[in-house]
Amino acid sequence: MPKTNKYLYLWVVQGNYGGYGWEDLAESESYKEARYNLKEYRISSGPDPHRIIQRREPNPAYFSKQMAAPGF
């Protein structure tokens, strides 16, 4: 059985529409998909700035397994 990663690594496309800072628009597990999403957002929203960031989130599968393990 393969080891479960503690974190999920995601690529997030963000847009800045003024006033409120950067907002998350889409997230994906591959950079290629994130680049495609970024291209689509840039075409549809015009001059508004967009960017791609990488985010690390806790993996729910890892932590549920840790809670089920017997304590010492």
Q: Is residue 69 part of a domain?
A: no
Q: What is the pLDDT of residues 9-44, one digit of tens each?
A: 999 999 998 888 999 999 999 999 999 999 999 999
**What is the 8-class DSSP label of residue 27?**
E
Which structural domain, as residue segments, surrounds residue 48? 7-59
Q: Is residue 27 part of a domain?
A: yes
Percent of the chain with pLDDT over 90: 64
Mean pLDDT of 51-72: 81
Q: Is residue 14 part of a domain?
A: yes
Q: Is residue 34 part of a domain?
A: yes
Q: Which of 49, 52, 22 is nearest to 37 (CA)?
A: 52
Q: Is residue 2 part of a domain?
A: no
Q: Is residue 31 part of a domain?
A: yes
- Predicted local distance difference test score (pLDDT) of residue 10: 96
Q: Is residue 1 part of a domain?
A: no
61 Cβ contact partners less than 8 Å away, ≥ 6 residues apart:
4
Q: Is residue 49 part of a domain?
A: yes
Which pair of structure tokens corresponds to residue 56? 């690390």
Other CB atoms within 10 A of residue 65 CB: 11
**CA-to-CA separations, 24 to 9, 11, 61, in angstroms, rounded:** 15, 10, 23
Confidence of residue 4 (pLDDT cuts 50, 70, 90): confident
Domain count, the chain: 1
